[in-house]
Chain A
Amino acid sequence: QKEVEQNSGPLSVPEGAIASLNCTYSDRGSQSFFWYRQYSGKSPELIMFIYSNGDKEDGRFTAQLNKASQYVSLLIRDSQPSDSATYLCAVNSFKTGANNLFFGTGTRLTVIP
């Protein structure tokens, strides 16, 4: 079982719509959850992090965490063409004996003008 699973997409949404990105993780002991955005040929850019159950909002972005269901999501409101990128979910885990950050394979988002 993979540590972090994401739907690889591609996910296409029209401009102005809400994009919903989902991620599940396997380690119930995980405590830190991150969303990174990566444009083609560039490095990952941190856009959200969440540590507690519930919602966390930052501008057009909302991260949602449900530890009971081992589920993390990212909502992007009023999607813009500039949001078109690959979104990586990352979760910490001690399963290998040390605190590692595990990345999902990423969801490719395309916002259609």
Chain B
Amino acid sequence: DTEVTQTPKHLVMGMTNKKSLKCEQHMGHRAMYWYKQKAKKPPELMFVYSYEKLSINESVPSRFSPECPNSSLLNLHLHALQPEDSALYLCASSQGTYNEQFFGPGTRLTVL
């Protein structure tokens, strides 16, 4: 199984809602990532988990809260988002932080 899965595929939420994005991989990878990608821009790194510990937080606003319940799962909890947070949210995983990263299909988020 060489796949990273993400749910939901699409999410529309209001600025007062709380929602969560989920990511799962069964490749035995020990590093997992959240990226944000706006249209016609490259992916921007948000968070890195290495061996289930948060190793990088790229100064992301606190309205985004990551969680790594176990080595296969990664969540991104969303609260009080702004319309400018609308983007494609990508999860990726890799064997280690030096290795090639494999991306999930992404969650298209729209904040109204």
Question: For chain B, which range describes its interface: under 10, 10 to 19, 20 to 34, or 35 or more residues?
Answer: 10 to 19
Contact A99 B100 (CB under 8 A): no
Asked if B42 is an interface residue, CB under 8 A from chain A, the answer is yes
Contact B97 A99 (CB under 8 A): yes
Contact A101 B42 (CB under 8 A): no
User: Hey, which chain A residues are within 8 Å of B100, CB to CB?
Assistant: 32, 34, 46, 49
Contact A42 B105 (CB under 8 A): yes
A62 CB → nearest B CB, Å: 17
Asked if A81 is an interface residue, CB under 8 A from chain B, the answer is no
Contacts A42-B105, A43-B104, A98-B48: A104 and B42 contacting too (C-beta < 8 A)? yes
A93 CB → nearest B CB, Å: 11
Contact B101 A106 (CB under 8 A): no
In Å, the complex CA distance between A92 and B97 comes to: 9
In Å, the complex CA distance between A8 and B2 comes to: 30
Contact B55 A98 (CB under 8 A): yes
Contact bitstring B42-79, A, C-beta under 8 A = 1, else 0? 11010010000001100000000000000000000000
